[in-house]
Amino acid sequence: MQGMKNTIVLFFGLLVGLIIAECVLRAFNPIPLRAKRGGLCLHRGERYVLFNDQTDRLDRKIVHTKNSLGFRGPEPLKDPQKALTILAVGGSTTECFLLSDGEDWVSRMSVLLGGRFRDVWANNAGIDGNSTFGHALLMNDVVLGLRPKIVLFLIGLNDIHNDTLNGFDLILSNRYYQSVRDLLVRNTELGSTLYYLDRARRAAKRNMGHAFRLLKDPQFIDIAPEIIERRVSASRDLFVPAYKERVLGLVRISRAEGIEPVLVTQPSLFGVGADPSTGIDLERIRVADDSNGELSWKLRELNNEALRDIGKETGVSVIDLARALPKDSKYYYDGYHFTPAGAQKAAEILAGDLGRFCEERFPEYRVH
């Protein structure tokens, strides 16, 4: 009998503790979640000042500012219909969180386009960790209301072969609840926070986050060709078709509202030959316990190829940044994220291709 009473007391004590934790986190959550309780979190008007002591590939002091939309870039225009408005949608390689204001590729691309077109307004709507699930929500909840003329989608990194790392799929997707965990993650601050922390832990384990040590202290592993082919084939069959359909959904959402979608393939340092700057073997470099540069690149190329196929099938413009940006560590501070030099190089490539696109679709903005 005493044991039963102790169990009941323990249960109610735990319940009260969880309720208190939920209330405290709703009042003040020290972790800047990007998604919680079924929705995206746009940190409008926030300013971050970071001090980097991890790598000499980034600035020592980093200042990152969000505007009133929760994006990077100039404030919304009073009459946006008169401007050449461009939004960049994607994950961390779009947001460039660890590059200071003006150094992200969207800002630099905007400057380059400003020399060829009048009234250019570009915003960076990238969200670190976001995948195509979150991109669709962002489009419906925010972007369609802004009615930009062009949306650039630099996507695919967070949709690679492992559902557990598909960005905000559990928090944001509209599928039925499959477990008590799903219910808690979708509807409570505590559940969203714990899920975010666990996801970040798993992402770090697979070096999907900001992995400074990859290039600072590289390790190498060999993976048999038949194992690489088996994993690539499995991903091609199991994950790529669904990814392609989600991207087609983004294209349909955009076109239905008169927005021009432009797809951008995801570049990576890994995959082929040696790094020109350091001599590091980009094929054998260890990316995770069970993955090296060759495998990592081949999996990412599956999603890139899906974008190229969509371009051929639908006529949507595709900028092949994955092939155009050199595999050189001077452009990356890890396997995927740009240094300031990398953002500048990406901006030059994108401004060139997008400029030609704008000349064809929006000639009225061309500077004569």
CATH, residue 225 = 3.40.50.1110
Task: Please indicate whether residue 292 or residue 6 has the higher confidence score (pLDDT).
Answer: 292
Note the pLDDT of residue 211. 79
Same domain, 78 and 165: yes
For residue 237, what are its two tokens? Answer: 């069959």
Q: Within the chain, where are the H helices?
A: 2-27, 92-95, 105-114, 132-138, 144-146, 169-172, 180-187, 189-205, 213-216, 225-238, 240-256, 293-314, 321-324, 340-361
How far is 94 from 307, CA to CA, in rounded Å?
17
In this predicted structure, the answer to whether residue 20 has a pLDDT above a threshold of 60 is yes
Q: Which of 77-91, 100-114, 165-179 has the lowest mean pLDDT?
A: 165-179
Same domain, 83 and 26: no
3-state helix, strand, coil in the chain (%, to 5): 50, 15, 35
Same domain, 274 and 318: yes
**What is the mean predicted confidence (pLDDT) over 299-307?**
97
From 106, 102, 137, 129, select the one nearest 201 (Cα to Cα): 129
Alpha carbon 103 to chain centroid, angstroms? 17
Same domain, 6 and 42: no
Same domain, 185 and 325: yes
**What is the mean predicted confidence (pLDDT) over 111-129?**
96
From 83, 140, 78, select the one nearest 110 (Cα to Cα): 83
Q: List, in sequence order, every residue forming a beta bridge with 85; answer none if it has no partner.
A: 121
Note the pLDDT of residue 163. 46
Note the pLDDT of residue 112. 98
**Helix or strand or coil: residue 90?**
strand
In this predicted structure, the answer to whether residue 177 has a pLDDT above a threshold of 60 is no
Note the pLDDT of residue 187. 62
Same domain, 157 and 275: yes
Note the pLDDT of residue 360. 97
**What is the mean predicted confidence (pLDDT) over 320-340?**
97
Note the pLDDT of residue 237. 92
**What is the mean predicted confidence (pLDDT) over 288-293?**
92
**Helix or strand or coil: residue 54?**
coil
Q: DSSP code of 146? A: H
Q: DSSP code of 337? A: P
Q: How many domains would you assign to the chain? A: 2
Same domain, 231 and 361: yes
**What is the mean predicted confidence (pLDDT) over 156-181?**
54
Note the pLDDT of residue 201. 53
Domain limits at 23?
Answer: 1-30
Same domain, 108 and 70: yes
**What is the mean predicted confidence (pLDDT) over 128-137?**
89
How far is 221 from 212, CA to CA, in rounded Å?
18
In this predicted structure, the answer to whether residue 36 has a pLDDT above a threshold of 80 is no
CB contact at 8 A, 29 and 193: yes
* pLDDT confidence bin for 189, thresholds 50/70/90: low
Neighbours of 255 (CB within 10 A): 13
CA-based radius of gyration for the chain: 22
Q: For residue range 233-289, what is the model confidence (pLDDT) as tens digits?
A: 999 998 999 999 999 999 999 999 999 999 999 999 999 999 999 999 999 999 988
pTM: 0.83
From 291, 196, 301, select the one nearest 240 (Cα to Cα): 301
Same domain, 291 and 325: yes
The amino acid at residue 356 is: R
What percent of the chain clears pLDDT 70, i.e. is strictly above it? Answer: 77
What percent of the chain clears pLDDT 90, i.e. is strictly above it? Answer: 68
Phi, psi of 162 (to 5 degrees): -115, 105
Dihedral angle over CA of 250, 253, 255, 259, nearest 10: -90
In this predicted structure, the answer to whether residue 195 has a pLDDT above a threshold of 90 is no
Q: Mean pLDDT score of the chain, rounded to an integer?
A: 86
For residue 263, what are its two tokens? Answer: 């797809």
* pLDDT confidence bin for 38, thresholds 50/70/90: low
How far is 349 from 259, CA to CA, in rounded Å?
22
Same domain, 124 and 217: yes
* CA dist list (Å): 35 to 54, 125, 128: 27, 14, 10
DSSP codes joined into one string, 184-209: HHHH-HHHHHHHHHHHHHHHHHTT-S
Phi, psi of 306 (to 5 degrees): -60, -40
Q: For residue range 140-166, what is the model confidence (pLDDT) as tens digits?
A: 999 999 999 999 999 999 887 544 434
Note the pLDDT of residue 43. 84
Note the pLDDT of residue 216. 87
Same domain, 20 and 53: no
Phi, psi of 366 (to 5 degrees): -70, 135
How far is 267 from 301, CA to CA, in rounded Å?
9
Same domain, 47 and 130: yes
In this predicted structure, the answer to whether residue 213 has a pLDDT above a threshold of 80 is yes
Note the pLDDT of residue 21. 57
